[in-house]
Amino acid sequence: MSIIKLRSCSKKILLLLIILALLGGVADKSIPLLVTRVLNIPLFLDMIFCLAFSFINPILGFICTVTGYVFSLIYEKNMLFFLFSICTFCGIITVWLFKKFVMDKNSNSFVMVFAEVLILCVLVCIVESVTGGIISRIIGMISGTDNYPTYQTDFIILMFRVHVKSPLVATIMSRFPINIADRFISVPLSFLAYLGIKKMMGLEVK
């Protein structure tokens, strides 16, 4: 289950992986539109494929992320929104490090992998909540508001502002409830997508 070295792949497999990563980036920014604007569900679900490709190789995760944010130019009017790509990059690094130093060191038994995925859900939740809150606050300071308006968290942050004086702390804390639900859905889906991609491409672990 170790990280797959891209240079060890054939040119055909590498090209297909890059194409899939590009498509995954578009999907990562299309799914939130469906979830929030059509279904009116306050979840992000914007990192499923970039994390899936990060299990294979972090470079593919970065390609997927950059593609997704370029695709966002179609509908995102505030260019400061692209600072949130930093959050995604942090998520990619988290998955890569966890897989390399934890998952690849242990057995591949169902129970062990299940437990590791749950732990990864918690880690990604923490990383995304903290980095997302910080970026949101930075954008807010640049644009002269408390934070970047986010459909998923705006209805929660009002509750925290009543009890928390620091806008930064309130912004970070407001993301935890959403991210707890979000990452316990998206991270397992990412891992399943990774297994599916690896099987479909016939990738062998090096």
CB-based burial, 39-52: b 16+ in 10 Å, e otherwise: eeebbbbbbbbbbb
Residue 176 lies in a domain: yes
Of 86, 87, 116, give the one whose Cα is nearest residue 175.
87
Q: Which residue has the tokens 């169902």?
A: 110
Residue 83 lies in a domain: yes
Residue 121 lies in a domain: yes
Of 184, 198, 205, 148, give the one whose Cα is nearest residue 48.
184
pLDDT tens digits, 1-34: 567 777 777 888 899 999 999 999 999 999 999 9
Taking the C-alpha atoms of residue 147 and residue 129, their distance in angstroms, rounded to an integer, is: 14
Average pLDDT of the chain, as a whole number: 92
Amino acid at 161: R
Residue 1 lies in a domain: no
Q: How many domains does the chain have?
A: 1
Q: Structure pTM?
A: 0.92
Residue 75 lies in a domain: yes
Residue 73 lies in a domain: yes
Residue 13 lies in a domain: yes
Residue 206 lies in a domain: no
Q: Which domain holds residue 27?
A: 6-201
pLDDT at 206 over 60: no
